[in-house]
Amino acid sequence: MTLDEVLANIADQDRGREFELVDPVTGQPTGIKLWIVGPDSDTATRSRIALYDELAEVADADGRVGAENREKANLNSLARHVLRWEISEAGEPVPFTTQNLLRLLRVNWVRQQVDGFASDRAAHRGRA
């Protein structure tokens, strides 16, 4: 591997990859698709830095961050990895907003799948 290949992979990861959620019980595709950046992308790096800043802002005088604030910051960080989606509610497309995305990511099995894909370097290697 060469330096230009390493740097090209970072740029490629910033374009994101399509990921379809699967039913947590049956493993069947749900039809809900998200485009998620890779773990080495510049977007993921900026998200990590923003997470540190957000945690620092809510820390108490002793540097402690409560569980509720830590959870919120982690969800916000994960949301920054999602570029767009295809999802509907009551037969209508759901607008891609931070509020709607966070509503989806608060579902534990969704969060686990998105987090797993966002951290999977193999899933983000080379063009799909």
pLDDT of 101-110, one tens digit each?
999 999 999 9
pLDDT digits (tens, 9 = 90+) for 1-55: 899 988 889 999 999 999 999 999 999 999 999 999 999 999 999 999 999 999 9
Cβ pair 14, 41 in contact under 8 A:
yes
pLDDT digits (tens, 9 = 90+) for 83-97: 999 999 999 999 999
pLDDT digits (tens, 9 = 90+) for 60-79: 999 999 999 999 999 999 99
Angle at which helices 98-105 and 67-79 cross, to 10°: 120
Angle at which helices 108-118 and 98-105 cross, to 10°: 100
pLDDT, residue 52, reads 96
Locate the DSSP E strands across the chain.
Answer: 17-22, 29-36, 82-86, 88-89, 92-93
Is this prediction's pTM over 0.85? yes
Radius of gyration (C-alpha) of the chain in whole angstroms: 16
pLDDT, residue 127, reads 60
pLDDT classification of 128: cutoffs 50, 70, 90: very low
pLDDT, residue 48, reads 97
The helix (H) or strand (E) run that includes residue 8 is helix 3-14
Angle at which helices 67-79 and 108-118 cross, to 10°: 60
**CB proximity list for 99: less than 8 A, separation 6 or greater:** none
